[in-house]
Amino acid sequence: MKKQLLSLLVLISAPTFAAQEINVQALQACSFIENDFNRLLCYDNTVAGKPLTKPSEKKTLTPPKPVANITPNVSAPVAAVATSAAKTDDFGLEHKEADEEKDTQVKAVVTSVEKAAYGELIITLDNNQQWRQIGSDSMRLKETDTVTISRGVFNSFLLRKEGQNRSIRVKRTQ
């Protein structure tokens, strides 16, 4: 009985393996289409099981031609490699620099805490960075508290007091 079930399972699953391989090839063929709308349409049709082209049309998808002999710019400035102290000085000020590796967090001691007009906290750290609270969350901070500012999603920053699980959203002002 077990042998019959095993053979039946193999027969049933065999067409799905072949179909998956065809879909992978079709998806790779879709990746060569330059027009965004047509490429998305190709992906949608492939997943739905439709053919890549209409029966009346005979289009062939060809991969783009490789660019010959591109050599990297070896004479790039060596100043791009900075020390960790220089990286922490710019933490929170960089906005759209995608090429550099960014620190994920900074740990510092609070030197002063002020309140802004609408009750937001303005926090100055021992490394001369100044951060302003965004939003209406509350957190009690005092001088000599150790805080960690970590990078969040969409280039946002979260300030967390050491020993607490609560955090507030902040942005760097200086």
Q: Give yes or no: residues 88 and 46 share one domain.
A: no
- The pLDDT value recorded for residue 123 is 92
Question: In this predicted structure, which of 8-17, 112-121, 125-134, 142-151 has the lowest mean pLDDT?
Answer: 8-17
Mean pLDDT score of the chain? 75
Q: Residue 5: which pLDDT band, with cuts at 50, 70 and 90?
A: low
**66 DSSP assignment:** P
pTM of the model: 0.44
Q: Residue 27: which pLDDT band, with cuts at 50, 70 and 90?
A: confident
Domain span holding position 103: 78-172
Residue 147 has pLDDT above 90, yes or no: yes
Q: Give yes or no: residues 113 and 49 share one domain.
A: no
- The pLDDT value recorded for residue 137 is 86
Rounded CA-CA distance 47/24 in Å is 10
Rounded CA-CA distance 51/23 in Å is 11
Domain termination residue (choose one: 42, 70, 98)? 70
3-state secondary structure of 109: strand
